[in-house]
Amino acid sequence: MSIDETEFRNVMGNFATGCTVVTFPDTPPHGMTANAFSSVSLDPPLCLVCVDHDTTSYELLSNGEMESFAVNILERSQQDLAEYFANMTELDEDPFEDRPTTSGVEGAPVFTDSLAYADCTLHAAHPAGDHTIYVGYAEDAEILDEDGDPLTFFRGGWGTTTSE
């Protein structure tokens, strides 16, 4: 039995996730919305993101230009950022200019309104179908907002949760 691509996407969409923007220290910087993100290991501190081969981010990672990236874990108020970095909408201003950012230790922009971030060097790359699994070694990681609620993605729609 072979499952149709759309059907598989719809089935997988029942797994509720948070949402991240992965940023790269390019000139100018680059970002991509990603929910295929996971922590992997505590010792050493590893996390992963699955990157579609049909993206600029994959181009940057696969041609060896990028050896680091930062994963920004989004707060519910950052839906517009998630849509922008998924190429779904435009914003009036470039968020790398307009939004509060700092530079991670490896040079990728960190959106300081996020819940948390992990600043990673590239640890490993595992091709997997039309995506590649990029494993990052967290050189730095920090909680930026202890009280914020997450931006979530479930069945193709944005949402949030609260711990109360």
Ligand X SMILES: Cc1cc2nc3c(=O)[nH]c(=O)nc-3n(C[C@H](O)[C@H](O)[C@H](O)COP(=O)(O)O)c2cc1C
* Interacting span for ligand X (CB under 6 A) from 26-34, 71-79, 89-97, 142-150: 26-34
Q: Which two tokens stand for residue 93?
A: 């201003």
Closest contact distance (angstroms) between CB of 132 and ligand X is 9
Check residue 152 for interaction with ligand X (CB under 6 A). Answer: no
Nearer to ligand X, 94 or 147 (CB): 94
Q: For the chain, what is the largest distance between any 2 Cα atoms, rounded to a whole number of angstroms?
A: 49
Check residue 32 for interaction with ligand X (CB under 6 A). Answer: yes
Nearer to ligand X, 41 or 87 (CB): 87
Check residue 38 for interaction with ligand X (CB under 6 A). Answer: no
Q: Give Cβ neighbours of residue 163 (< 8 Å, ≥ 6 apart).
A: none
**Contact set for ligand X, span 42-101 (CB under 6 A):** 50-52, 55-57, 86-87
* C-alpha to C-alpha distances, 28 to 35, 47, 134, nearest whole angstrom: 23, 25, 22
Whole-angstrom Cα distance, residue 112 to residue 23?
A: 13
